[in-house]
């Protein structure tokens, strides 16, 4: 590691910000030594805020029906080979009941943009969950619904919303999405969610097709200024039935490096070690935690549909990824010195 890189790492830790040029330099000139130093400082920063704890979220994949056609995604509407499903509200509630008994205090309802889930259906669902379990947080990750819809869902009790910005560069965004989608609208949604009082998560894939280091630097600058409560960063992994089937996957190593960078930008951020990171490398989630992440989102979806929410090849949904195997996950965290806690795990931003 050169002195220049070491100085950049210390500058980031102290000032929580670098210029785009500095981010590019840090990423391009990183080596194993720089990665280890950055991870150590990032982990210390997370420990100062959250101690040796990891929050868990019960992920319920409510539908893989989607009106969008994002080029990277296995559940895009253009994928005729995807076996579609939609959970009924009572099935979703059964997942919540099971998750509560297991110790989950946050439920994340994620899905494709499925128009069957109208505001009315979702409002009823959210109200039922919040009445049954007032000590729990409800997170939504259901794509671009528009301000009015976001407002209604917030009013009945939704606490958080995850909407990755995917890339902060408009030209890059246009290469990953169909023409009718735009970065400008995605950003409008994120700002609306924030002003409506949600705890908001943005994020991006590492190694998505056409991504350059300059794009990543832009993502980091966006994260600096937007000040999200959560940030989802995971490697891009190709899916066999998408136009990007032959593109290489992003690396676990760069993903962990960027988790550390983002932890130092916002030490209080809720930062998941994503399923994609766990899917691409054995022990990926543990490495994510050791790089500064502090959230894990095990899968609570009914076993019968888990294989159908296939965003990318070989997505993990069993083993420690399954909420029912919490014991295994707890042991894995203990083995690296961390403890899973029963807690809503709200944002401290």
Residue 7 C-beta: closest distance to ligand SAM, Å: 33
CA 300 to chain centre: 16
Is 184 in contact with 162 (CB distance < 8 Å)? no
Closer CB to ligand SAM, residue 45 or residue 259? 259
Closer CB to ligand SAM, residue 143 or residue 345? 143
Q: Hunting for tokens 């766990």 — which residue is that?
A: 278
Residue 163 C-beta: closest distance to ligand SAM, Å: 5
Closer CB to ligand SAM, residue 18 or residue 190? 190
Residue 276 C-beta: closest distance to ligand SAM, Å: 5
Find, among 293, 258, 291, the residue nearest to 26 by Cα.
Answer: 258
Closer CB to ligand SAM, residue 44 or residue 68? 68
The span from the CA of 55 to the CA of 344, in Å, is: 8
Closer CB to ligand SAM, residue 162 or residue 329? 162
| Residues engaged in binding ligand SAM (CB under 6 A) | 72-73, 110, 112-113, 141-143, 163-164, 166, 205, 234, 236-237, 239, 276, 311-312
Q: Extract the tokens encoding 284.
A: 């990926």
Residue 144 C-beta: closest distance to ligand SAM, Å: 7
Closer CB to ligand SAM, residue 245 or residue 348? 245
The span from the CA of 291 to the CA of 249, in Å, is: 20
Closer CB to ligand SAM, residue 201 or residue 267? 201
Residue 278 C-beta: closest distance to ligand SAM, Å: 12
Residue 312 C-beta: closest distance to ligand SAM, Å: 4
Residue 40 C-beta: closest distance to ligand SAM, Å: 27
């Amino acid at each position: 590691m050169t002195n220049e890189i070491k100085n950049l790492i210390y500058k980031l830790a102290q000032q929580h910000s670098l210029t785009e040029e500095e981010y590019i330099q840090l990423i391009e000139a990183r080596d194993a030594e720089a990665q280890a130093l950055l991870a150590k400082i990032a982990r210390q920063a997370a420990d100062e805020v959250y101690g040796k704890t990891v929050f868990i979220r019960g992920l319920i994949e409510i539908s893989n029906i989607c009106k969008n056609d994002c080029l990277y995604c296995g559940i895009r509407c253009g994928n005729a080979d995807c076996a579609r499903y939609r959970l009924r509200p009572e099935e979703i509630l059964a997942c919540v009941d099971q998750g509560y008994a297991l110790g989950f205090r946050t439920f994340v309802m994620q899905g494709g943009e499925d128009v069957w889930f109208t505001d009315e259906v979702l409002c009823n669902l959210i109200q039922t969950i919040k009445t049954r379990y007032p000590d729990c947080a409800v997170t939504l990750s259901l794509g671009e619904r528009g301000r009015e819809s976001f407002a209604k869902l917030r009013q009945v009790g939704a606490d958080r919303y995850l909407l990755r910005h995917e890339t902060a560069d408009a030209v890059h965004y246009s290469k990953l999405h169909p023409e009718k989608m735009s970065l400008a609208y995605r950003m409008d949604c994120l700002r609306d969610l924030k002003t409506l009082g949600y705890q908001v998560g943005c994020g991006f894939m590492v190694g998505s097709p056409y991504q350059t280091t300059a794009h990543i630097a832009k993502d980091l600058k966006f994260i600096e200024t937007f000040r999200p409560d959560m940030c989802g960063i995971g490697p891009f992994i190709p899916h066999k039935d998408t136009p990007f089937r032959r593109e290489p996957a992003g690396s676990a190593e760069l993903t962990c490096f960027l988790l550390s960078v983002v932890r130092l930008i916002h030490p209080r951020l809720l930062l998941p070690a994503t399923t994609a990171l766990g899917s691409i490398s054995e022990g990926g989630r543990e490495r994510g935690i050791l790089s500064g992440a502090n959230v894990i989102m095990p899968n609570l979806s009914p076993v019968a549909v888990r294989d159908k929410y296939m965003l990318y090849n070989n997505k993990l949904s069993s083993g420690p990824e399954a909420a029912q195997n919490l014991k295994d996950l707890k042991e894995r965290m203990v083995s690296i010195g961390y403890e899973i806690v029963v807690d809503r795990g709200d944002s401290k931003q």
